Amino acid sequence: MTLYLNLAEELAARIEQGLFRPGERLPSVRTLSQEHGVSLSTVQQAYRQLEDQGLATPRPKSGYFVNQLRQQPELPQISRAPQRPVEVSQWEQVLELVSEPPSSDVLQLSRGIPDIDVPTLKPLLRSLSRLSRRQSLRELSYGAVEGEISLRQEVARLTLDSGCQLAAEDIVITTGCHEALSAALRAICQPGDIVAVDSPSFHGVMQALKGFGMKALELPTDPLTGISLEALEMALEQWPIKAIQLTPSCNNPLGYVMPEANKRALLALAQRFDVAIIEDDIYGDLAYHYPRPRSIKSFDEDGRVLLCSSFSKTLAPGLRIGWIAPGRYLQQVLHMKYMGTGMSAQLPQLAIAEFIRDGLYQPHLRQMRKQYARGREQMTGWVSRYFPPGTRVSQPQGGFMLWVEMPQGFDSLRLNRRLAASKLQVAPGSIFSAAGKYRNCIRLNFACSHQPSMEAAIRQVGETVTQLLAEDA
Amino acid sequence: MTLYLNLAEELAARIEQGLFRPGERLPSVRTLSQEHGVSLSTVQQAYRQLEDQGLATPRPKSGYFVNQLRQQPELPQISRAPQRPVEVSQWEQVLELVSEPPSSDVLQLSRGIPDIDVPTLKPLLRSLSRLSRRQSLRELSYGAVEGEISLRQEVARLTLDSGCQLAAEDIVITTGCHEALSAALRAICQPGDIVAVDSPSFHGVMQALKGFGMKALELPTDPLTGISLEALEMALEQWPIKAIQLTPSCNNPLGYVMPEANKRALLALAQRFDVAIIEDDIYGDLAYHYPRPRSIKSFDEDGRVLLCSSFSKTLAPGLRIGWIAPGRYLQQVLHMKYMGTGMSAQLPQLAIAEFIRDGLYQPHLRQMRKQYARGREQMTGWVSRYFPPGTRVSQPQGGFMLWVEMPQGFDSLRLNRRLAASKLQVAPGSIFSAAGKYRNCIRLNFACSHQPSMEAAIRQVGETVTQLLAEDA
């Protein structure tokens, strides 16, 4: 991390801890420069960073002051989903999102792409490159359908961080988390079956439900604590639900971490009604606070939780390596994996296993967590500044996604059409709902918010939103 | 190719063309050595090769003679399948086959692994290695769900060889042929639907049918010409068949090429009964005779043929890159692809596109075709020599698989158990049938028949077969 960002973070932490109070003057540039042994311009950069984050404001000739009230925008409203099973729609909107290959001259606001241009990933690419040349059966041939044993061992160890006690034999490697989720659904459910989901929810799962002819029951979801357990209980009483699918840790798109007590209570409900839980943990390792949150799987005693994850958000999506710990459904999941893709590519599995074994995964994660925590502050600050008043914003606890809610009636698809000319696209909220709700919301990716053009881009999105709202008024 | 193999091939060709007739003495070692400007030992090696292939026999002090009758073993019998829709079984046997990662100290007789240790693949590995280091969004991020456009263009051009007229837009890249076939089935059929298949047939498709709750109707299949069109017509009249799935060019496991007239007739039937055809062409580019056979897809006028293939047999399976040209089912297939794996890895797509664009694919194919054609001769020769009399053997026209039929009652699973001690495994015939038929058959991989230990391995398999038959007698 650069010096000025370090300093800015330290100051931000002191403000958040109350060591500097609202309205109070912050130390002068010169003082800080001497105190920290850094240049004047470094301190100035750090203060500009605090300004960007909405934490401090400069007053002419007087220095920087802690903002009166931290301009934290309001949270999105608790979602009110239809609460009956519906067939999933929105495929055309999803297709639009996933049909365009990302290009380096376009800012990646819309898709769930992490920052892959970081030095801590270099060793992984080097081993991928080295292994590619070896031309041995092990790298280039079919592997075992379960996946490479060395990687399964490393993944089993990684899951200790979320409180799991798994062995390599409990893990099946998949082609991304997509295949893990898809295999989990097919292992448990038949066409026509009802699956309860958080709402908003990952569009990949929704589209899988659509493809398999299953129905989604969207549950009201609190932007800080996740799905309503009361609503879930009522739904379980009312409908023959086969599985609960959710992303409880660093949720996509809302970013919340479901409290541990809620995770336990959810599991108890699943036991009482004897349904399976498909837990998407793809962003879990990117929680800003260490140690990372426990998974529901870590409380699971009778194997009803299918833990799905991947290296797509922590390392790089293009590797297409995910995994599933399917509990008691291991045999069914193995069959689904075999019929879906036969097996996953060996090369990236071997390279990732090496990367973890060499002790490079955790330091990389630490960097990314810091970067994304900063990104959240920046992005929240920009949205507060450039979006119209009344815009509501999520408070993610991990990952690199911000959920932004405009007033009812706002149309995010229209926003995207308007933004197309400037090569900007956001993820429209409606793809995160089976029934096409949340059209007034968008999801923004702040993984690369350090890119110089990012602020201008968010400014333009914000101004376009303001324009559209004015046109409708 | 080494000198002696060149010479052997030339002599074999002359024998096959009738320039040397059965019983006739072949030129002396000295004569050939002078005529071809090669050493005496090279000629002797070439003659031993002919001997291995069952084409010539040495007589003491008289030289080599063309064998009276070429010892071509009898063909397998035309399969008599149940001819009613059945649910697919045999998952445990397939799992056993695909659970073991291939190891370089074990001969790969059982799985469909090509020879990947060939010089013509080196440039592909080099570009894979180079691209791995680039750390750019294009290689490491999500690509488009349809796949990398440069590869789709190259694939479209490749399919010209089988008579197709396709554009890049008609092609969807998949994670191996597995995903292509799986997406094709799901795009067309619902659980409970009946799919007509050739028999014996690829176990991956059968297990997909099982996983989706579909039923397989196995059709009688001629080891030289493929499925019986009469039987297919009767089946279409009798059952509500949704799709016909088959591998008409260089069939797996039988190796036949369905005659062009039959391909046309099959398509006409599909049109008359309005069913889709899922054509697996994965071995098609490995037909020994150039130009390669036309695909059924090349005759398709109303988009009812879904052509599925991959680079797993022509380049390397570990790349996990396949494709599908789904005709009128493009939208459904795209959706199935998205819900299955999201997208396929970018790196191998870019490397393969480069390999083809650089003009390296066709020369590689030429080498592999020659090698596999030789492998067929060797393997057929060894089976004739080391297996008990009455063993029937397929006459593949492409690919690297031999289908070997022992008398009824022979148990290939028992054979595998007996072979396990010597680290040898063959593919048991029963996994190629939905109903578990063909237990008396095995499939042998001759991709690497040049490996020094291969003849001894086949000899051991043959002797174990003989033993087992004697024990039962």
Domain with CATH 3.40.640.10 in chain A: 91-102+121-357
Q: How confident is the model at residue B51 (pLDDT cuts 50, 70, 90)?
A: confident
Amino acid (one-letter) located at B167 = A
Q: Which residue has the higher pLDDT, B150 or A20?
A: B150
Q: Work out the average pLDDT over B56-72.
A: 80
| Contacts A–B by Cβ distance under 8 A | 236
pLDDT of residue B371: 94
Q: Which of 345-364 (B) contact A at CB < 8 A?
A: 345-348
Which CATH code of 3.30.1490.190, 3.40.640.10, 3.40.50.300, 3.30.450.40 fits the domain covering B121-357? Answer: 3.40.640.10
Q: Which range has the worst mean pLDDT, A214-218, A260-264, B93-97, B448-452?
A: B93-97
**CATH of segment(s) A363-472:** 3.90.1150.10
**Which residues does chain A have within 8 Å of residue B335's beta carbon, measured at their own beta carbons?**
91, 95, 207, 210-211
B212-268 pLDDT tens trace: 999 999 999 999 999 999 999 999 999 999 999 999 999 999 999 999 999 999 999
Å between A349 CA and nearest CA of chain B: 11
**Which residues does chain A have within 8 Å of residue B148's beta carbon, measured at their own beta carbons?**
101
Q: Work out the average pLDDT over B328-340.
A: 95
Q: Are the Cβ atoms of B191 and A190 closer than 8 angstroms?
A: yes
E strands, B272-383, are 276-280, 305-310, 322-325
Calpha distance B383→B73 (Å, rounded):
9
Output the six-digit token pair for B84.
């009613």
Q: Which of 61-100 (A) contact B at CB < 8 A?
A: 91, 94-95, 98-100
Residue with the two structure tokens 């290689």: B139
Report the share of chain B in percent with pLDDT over 90: 75
Q: How confident is the model at residue B14 (pLDDT cuts 50, 70, 90)?
A: confident
CA nearest to B182, candidates B313, B34, B335: B335
Q: How confident is the model at residue B295 (pLDDT cuts 50, 70, 90)?
A: very high
Q: How confident is the model at residue B70 (pLDDT cuts 50, 70, 90)?
A: low
B258-292 pLDDT tens trace: 999 999 999 999 999 999 999 999 999 999 988 89
CB contact B203 to A (< 8 Å): no
Contact yes or no for B439/B413 (Cβ under 8 A)? yes
Angstrom CA distances, B378 to A20, A153, A346, B34, B384, stand at 84, 41, 31, 27, 10
Q: Which residues pair with B309 in a beta bridge?
A: B323
Domain with CATH 1.10.10.10 in chain B: 3-66
Please name the residue of chain A whose CA is at the shortest distance from the CA of residue B126.
Answer: A133
Mutate to test the interface with A, among B87, B120, B132 (most CBs of A within 10 A): B132
**Which residues does chain B have within 8 Å of residue A182's beta carbon, measured at their own beta carbons?**
339-341
Average pLDDT, chain B: 92
Contact yes or no for B393/B73 (Cβ under 8 A)? yes
pLDDT of residue B101: 76
Domain with CATH 3.90.1150.10 in chain B: 363-472
Is CATH 2.40.50.140 correct for B3-66? no
CB contact A341 to B (< 8 Å): yes
Calpha distance A217→A56 (Å, rounded):
44
pLDDT of residue A90: 84
pLDDT of residue A440: 96
Please name the residue of chain A whose CA is at the shortest distance from the CA of residue B192.
Answer: A191
B105-148 pLDDT tens trace: 677 899 999 999 999 999 999 999 999 888 787 788 888 999 99
CB contact A344 to B (< 8 Å): yes
Contact yes or no for A304/A277 (Cβ under 8 A)? yes
With a threshold of 0.90, tell me whether the complex ipTM lies above it: no
pLDDT of residue B196: 97
Give me the residue from A116, A142, A348 closest to B317, CB to CB. A142
Q: Which residues pair with B217 in a beta bridge?
A: B196
**Which residues does chain A have within 8 Å of residue B176's beta carbon, measured at their own beta carbons?**
341-342
Amino acid (one-letter) located at A48 = R
Q: Which of 208-247 (A) contact B at CB < 8 A?
A: 208, 210-213
Domain with CATH 3.40.640.10 in chain B: 121-357
Q: Which of 110-169 (A) contact B at CB < 8 A?
A: 111-113, 116-117, 121-122, 125-126, 128-130, 132-146, 148-149
Contact yes or no for A376/A451 (Cβ under 8 A)? no
pLDDT of residue B24: 85
Q: Are the Cβ atoms of B176 and A317 closer than 8 angstroms?
A: no
Residue A309 is given by DSSP the state E
Angstrom CA distances, A222 to A77, A395, A463, B174, stand at 8, 11, 28, 38
Å between A427 CA and nearest CA of chain B: 15
Please name the residue of chain B whose CA is at the shortest distance from the CA of residue A332.
Answer: B211
DSSP states of A111-158? S-------GGGHHHHHHHHHHHT---HHHHS---TT--HHHHHHHHHH
Q: Are the Cβ atoms of A178 and B339 closer than 8 angstroms?
A: yes
Q: Which range has the worst mean pLDDT, A130-139, A377-386, B11-20, B199-208?
A: B11-20
**Which residues does chain B have within 8 Å of residue A204's beta carbon, measured at their own beta carbons?**
338-339, 342
Give me the residue from A126, A178, A316 closest to B141, CB to CB. A316
Angstrom CA distances, B313 to A427, B115, B126, stand at 39, 9, 19
Give me the residue from B98, B213, B347 closest to A145, CB to CB. B98
pLDDT of residue B1: 58
Please name the residue of chain B whose CA is at the shortest distance from the CA of residue A120.
Answer: B135
Q: How confident is the model at residue B54 (pLDDT cuts 50, 70, 90)?
A: confident
Q: How confident is the model at residue B442 (pLDDT cuts 50, 70, 90)?
A: very high
pLDDT of residue B69: 59
Environment class of residue A266 by beta-carbon count within 10 Å: exposed (0-12), middle (13-18) or buried (19+)? Answer: buried
CB contact A204 to B (< 8 Å): yes
CB contact set of A129 (below 8 Å; sequence gap of 6+): B129, B130, B132, B133
**Which residues does chain B have within 8 Å of residue A101's beta carbon, measured at their own beta carbons?**
138, 142-144, 148-149
**Which residues does chain A have within 8 Å of residue B123's beta carbon, measured at their own beta carbons?**
none
One digit per residue, the tens of pLDDT, for chain A of length 473 reads 578 888 988 888 788 767 788 888 999 999 999 988 999 999 999 998 888 777 888 988 889 998 875 557 898 988 877 678 888 888 888 888 888 777 776 778 999 999 999 999 999 999 999 999 887 877 888 889 999 999 999 999 999 999 999 999 999 999 999 999 999 999 999 999 999 999 999 999 999 999 999 999 999 999 999 999 999 999 999 999 999 999 999 999 999 999 999 999 999 999 999 999 999 999 999 999 888 999 999 999 999 999 999 999 999 999 999 999 999 999 999 999 999 999 999 999 999 999 999 999 999 999 999 999 999 989 999 999 999 999 999 999 999 999 999 999 999 999 999 998 888 999 999 999 998 899 999 999 999 999 989 999 999 999 999 999 999 87
Angstrom CA distances, B277 to A283, B295, B302, stand at 41, 11, 11
pLDDT of residue B109: 92
Å between B217 CA and nearest CA of chain A: 18
Q: Which CATH architecture has domain A91-102+121-357?
A: 3-Layer(aba) Sandwich (3.40)
